[in-house]
Amino acid sequence: MAVAGVAAAHAGPAVTCWRGLRCWATPGLAGVGDERHVALTFDDGPDPASTPAFLDELDRLGWRATFFLLGSMVRRAPSLAAETSARGHEIGVHGDEHRSQLRRGPRAVHDDVERARDTIAEVTGTAPLWFRPPYGALSAGSLRSARALGLRPVLWTTWGRDWEAAATPESVVADVLRGLRPGATVLLHDSDCTSAPRSWASTLGALPPLAEAFATRGLTVGPLAEHGVGGGRRPGLRPLTAAPGPGASYRSLSVLSGSS
């Protein structure tokens, strides 16, 4: 019974995987913000095969977004991670490896999130505020680690199901708009590292029609920092010179060489 109780406590926060429930019960966690604004977010990068095309298209549309980066991907393409930040986009933490945190113990989760945060901070020169776990699967360990590392968990209110092999630009647009609600946070992917091969091309193709749909509805688009999540605006990036959050420790650039 004790073991079952511990397991239940560990997995309890995963009930937020149900979008309808979290939008109603925990709107801040769901990413509900300014009703006339859409927070545009991308997961799983940076990916040299696809992320540059997204950066160019976002420039063309005049949009900035929040990119939730994987530490392992950042170490493979550090210059691209730095470029993403330098081009005005907000950077969040998606973990170091894309593994469900429901299947990992609290210590492993903490180490994974900390390594990702430190890697991203070293490469981009900014300390990210936002954290989104792989698959959106929050555990008790996820929440404790985020709090200890000065990160704020945020999920999404609608998505494009753009990881599927059957996804098309039209299906991505339809799925995003089907779940669109006031103050929406949109989940998309700029990499296929955990998705169907070249699924990102459907996401990229969906951006222009989404821009038209959002404009028709009178919605502005931007990163979470401009979204007013939970009431009021909060900066999405903090300079590394700022005081780190509780438990923060920024390692040297050795994290990029694999020596740590």
Pick the CATH number of 33-89+119-128+156-227 from 3.40.50.300, 3.20.20.370, 3.40.91.10, 3.40.50.2300: 3.20.20.370
Instruction: Look up 189 and say whether it is catalytic.
Output: yes
Kindly report the pTM of this predicted structure. Answer: 0.82
Predicted confidence (pLDDT) per residue in 140-174, tens digit = 999 999 999 999 999 999 999 999 999 999 999 99
Q: Residue 173: its pLDDT value, please? A: 98
Q: Residue 154: its pLDDT value, please? A: 97
Q: Residue 197: its pLDDT value, please? A: 97
Q: Residue 256: its pLDDT value, please? A: 29
Domain boundaries, the chain: 33-89+119-128+156-227
Tokens of residue 246, six digits: 């509780």
Q: Residue 223: its pLDDT value, please? A: 98
How deeply is 17 buried, as exposed, middle or buried, from its count of CB atoms within 10 A (0-12, 13-18, 19+)?
A: middle
Q: Which entry of 10, 94, 110, 189 is annotated as an active-site residue?
A: 189
Question: Which residue numbers in the chain have pLDDT < 50?
Answer: 1-15, 231-260
Q: Residue 105: its pLDDT value, please? A: 84
Q: Which entry of 34, 43, 44, 96 is annotated as an active-site residue?
A: 43
- Cα separation, 130 vs 187, in Å, equals 14
Q: Residue 80: its pLDDT value, please? A: 98
